[in-house]
Structure 1
Amino acid sequence: MSDPNNAKSTSSGRLIYTVGYAGHDRESLLALFKAHRITAVADIRTFKRSSYWTAFDSDSFGPFLRENGIAYVFMGDVMGGKPQVPELYPDGQLDYGLMADQPDFKSGIERLVSGAEKYRICLMCAERDPLDCHRTLLIAPPLKDAGLDLCHLVDGRVESQAETDARMIAINGGDVPDLFAAAAPDPDAEAKLALARQIKRVAPKAEDAIKRR
């Protein structure tokens, strides 16, 4: 794990953090943000309220952060991991590829990329481990493609995206498709396979994600 005050960014200087609030209270999470000099929090939960972690309900937690000098924006309506759109669950499980192609999601990525020029952003969701959350499995890839580096705040430590990817490969590695079948072997084949397997493991099912009205 890296030193929290010496996280490396890309050559562009753009860096985005992520965190899951599970296991925290307001004060401990605020202290974590302060320790890592976070200046803006992007809330990427689908729903603004939690039946369990009520201290982090958007309507009260957002003002709490602003009172403490940290900007807050709710982006779960366009980047939430449990979209309320049945068509995004073609086989009963959320298809991250379909969601990543949604215009609103792409606009959300553009907002984060632009915001990273001005703010030190932390993406906030509920899951403690980034491997269990769409912030890593859905949002991280397009941010990486846009030239941003990611760091995950896990149990008070900083885990780089490279370290997260290595854990994902260790959990889901093996049985890589025959690379000799391709004219040019894909050096990222193992990582892509591990990502696909992790998504299959944790992506939400429609019956659990979509609220019944």
Structure 2
Amino acid sequence: MQDTLSNPHNPNQKTVFTVGYAGHDRDSLLALFKAHGITAVADIRTFKRSSYWTAFDADSFGPFLRAQGIAYVFMGDVMGGKPQAPELYPDGQLDYDLMAQLPEFQDGIARLISGANKYRICLMCAEKDPLDCHRTLLIASPLKAAGFDLCHLVEGGVEHQSETEQRMVALNGGDVPDLFATTAPDPDAETKLALQRQIKRVAPRAQDAIKRR
């Protein structure tokens, strides 16, 4: 039997799944988790409650999953895509590079990496398309660097992070490499440029993300 923690395309590469619950109800999302052998859900929303998708409020959805034998942990306090610290929005828009440098965010990544040795983890947020979510725009990079493949559970099946990045490049275009550059070309340059452009397009703005108290 194949190791359920591995990527079927590369048995030596571990997998972390992700999903956006928008468009689901509890039963359909649970069925998706079971179909892919998910044993733990890391909730990476900033806020534990939703004004619209109330079935996924942490206080009730967590116990619902645990009753089904799936571990649940809320990590939005360290990995949420709408942090409440104004200094992370230096130009009015969330700076993912600044957020990635926070010790608490790095600790969150370390917890995921450690947890993946025991569980088949799915990161859960609200956003349906991983291309528009910090699952891809922020969290994917450090997990890829640690040797993980992100598999996004989307309508119609599973989209690997490499496929998400291909869509990102197609959407954001690309520049012709500088033929006269003095340094060796970066094979990931087009993807990095597309990521910067996608972040500029969809990263939350302070006026919308930070709750007024």
- What is residue 42 of structure 1 aligned with on the other side? 42
Inter-partner Cα distance in structure 2 for 1:34 and 1:211: 35
Shift of 1:185: 1.0
Quick check: 1:176–1:193 contact (8 Å CA) kept in 2?
no
CA shift digits 1:88-139 (9 cap, x unpaired) = 0000000000000000000000000111111000000001100010001100
User: Partner residue of 2:21?
Assistant: 21
Tell me: CA distance 1:57–1:156, structure 2 relative to 1, closer, same or farther (3 Å). Answer: farther
Q: For each residue in 1:154-181, what CA deviation from the matched residue of structure 2 results, as whole angstroms up to 9, or x when unmatched? A: 0141001111110000001222563632
The equivalent residue for 2:185 is 185
CA contact (8 A) 1:45 1:80 kept: yes
Deviation at 1:183, TM superposition (A): 1.3
Q: Identity of aligned pairs, percent? A: 78
Distance in 2 between the 1:43 and 1:111 partners?
13
Partner of 2:126: 126
SS at match of 2:41: strand
Q: In structure 1, the residue corresponding to 2:180 is in which secondary structure?
A: helix
d(CA) in 1 for partners of 2:85 and 2:179? 36
- Alignment gaps of 5+ in structure 1: 1-5
Q: Report the TM-score, using the length of structure 2 for normalisation.
A: 0.94
Number of equivalenced pairs: 208
Which secondary structure state, in structure 1, belongs to the residue aligned with residue 31 of structure 2? helix
What is the match of residue 80 of structure 1? Answer: 80
Which deviates further from its counterpart, 169-178 or 114-123? 169-178
Q: Secondary structure of the residue that 1:108 maps to in structure 2?
A: helix
Q: After TM superposition, give the deviation of residue 10 of structure 1 in Å.
A: 4.6
Q: Which runs of 5+ in 2 are unaligned?
A: 1-5
Runs (4 or more) in structure 1 with deviation over 3 Å come to: 9-13
The letter for the 2-side match of 1:171 is L
Confirm or deny that 1:71 pairs with 2:71.
yes
Match of 1:152 in 2: 152
Tell me the residue number matched to 2:3. Answer: none
- Partners of 1:105 and 1:177 in 2: CA distance: 33
Distance 1:18 1:182, change over 3 A: farther
* 1:107 matched residue in structure 2: 107
Helix, strand or coil: the match of 1:180? Answer: coil
Query: In terms of mean alpha carbon deviation, does 201-210 or 173-182 score higher?
Result: 173-182
Instruction: Give the equivalent residue in structure 2 for 1:175.
Output: 175
Q: For residues 19-68 of structure 1, what are the alpha-carbon distances to aligned partners after superposition, in whole Å with 9 as ceiling and x for unaligned? A: 00000000000000000000000000000000000000000000000000
Q: Distance in 2 between the 1:171 and 1:144 partners?
A: 22
DSSP 3-state at the match of 1:212: coil
Q: 1:148 to 1:139 in 2, by over 3 A?
A: same
Partner AA of 2:26 in structure 1: R
